[in-house]
Structure 1
């Protein structure tokens, strides 16, 4: 059984859809301690620090899966917005643009350690103001990197996708399936 170290209901849903046996736990980790402003580096560093923290709290006898995602718009990193206004600013920068969703993930067991950093690029149409207002009012953007919800708000605005949809959701599960099979 895998221990998913994440608060994300989306990551939980992905593992369920693939019928991966798991338990979900959360750990305290302060992403503000990461200094990098380079999206791929930030995602990897956050993932690495989450794993270190998980090993301290859970030990090394279980299979631990950690992941972190960030959004990049014109090479500028977007993390989880803290306020509705911050979410609005992020979404306005994304409207009609190409965005990259970068997901880093690490699977660690007593026998293996596998790391992956992937990105999915989405070309978006301009957002309709009414849709944007409704999305912001819904609070569904909370806890989402860049306020991006590819399975919801963003879905009807995607013109082109390059990369795995699961990466855009926050867990590139297909890349780890061979390793889940040997746990």
Structure 2
């Protein structure tokens, strides 16, 4: 089987390579909105499945598709990718001195079937100063990351005090879950 990654994320691509997989990247613009009644874990799964459905009919018989979506949740508020510097600052201030959840929905699809699961990790962030938040935004430009941060960057190295769950999930791809799903799909 040929693995297709339905994501432009350099972090997801790197993690898949580190797992020893070769793959082709194939993406299609997908609406990432979701019904209001969904709970956070359901949102991550819903969007991952939407991404898989967008590409499923284009799959060849010897291809298997992997899609994912990561969200950050503080209390009941979902933090997606920030639109600008002000929104990034607001998100980082909200994460400062608290714990939050990172949830990634993962879909594996062939031409007939889609299997979707999710992974949840709790992240504890120490209190951040205004200067630290400003420096992080200027240096790391976190506009392509849910919650405005990458755990693999400076903020993760100096401000994340503890995680409960999968580190790679916070990076953007729960590799243990991906491996299990691909293995069960007879990849």
State the TM-score, normalized to the length of structure 1.
0.90
Deviates more, 1:93-102 or 1:172-181: 172-181
Contact between 2:152 and 2:171, CA under 8 Å: does it hold in 1? yes
| Counterpart check, 1:70 vs 2:71 | yes
Instruction: Report the secondary structure of 1:72's partner residue.
Output: strand
Contact 2:67/2:108 (CA < 8 Å) preserved in 1? yes
Return closer, same or farther for 1:113/1:53 CA change in 2, 3 Å cut-off: closer
State the match for 1:21 in structure 2.
Answer: 22
Name the SS of the counterpart of 2:156 in structure 1: helix
The change in CA–CA distance for 1:139 and 1:124 in structure 2 (over 3 A counts) is closer
In 1, are the aligned partners of 2:68 and 2:104 still within 8 Å (CA)?
yes
8 Å CA contact 1:61–1:110 kept in 2: the answer is: no
Q: Deviations over 1:20-61 (max 9, x none)?
A: 1111122111213x2336322221111111111011344565
The aligned residue for residue 125 of structure 2 is: 124
Q: Could you tell me how far apart the structure 2 residues matched to 1:29 and 1:165 are?
A: 26
**Structure 1 position 115, deviation (Å):** 2.1
Matched, 1:150 2:156: no
- Extract unaligned runs of 5+ from structure 1: none
Deviating more after overlay: 81-90 vs 113-122: 113-122
Q: Which secondary structure state, in structure 2, belongs to the residue aligned with residue 134 of structure 1?
A: helix
Distance 2:72 2:11 in 1: 16
Q: For this pair of structures, how many residues does the alignment match?
A: 182
Q: Which runs of 5+ in 2 are unaligned?
A: none
Shift in Å, 1:143: 1.1
2:54 match: 53
User: Does the Cα contact within 8 Å between 2:41 and 2:103 map onto a contact in 1?
Assistant: yes
Structure 1 SS opposite 2:57: helix
* CA 41–112 in structure 1, closer or farther in 2 if over 3 Å, else same: closer
Equivalence for 1:35? 35
1:164 alignment counterpart: 166
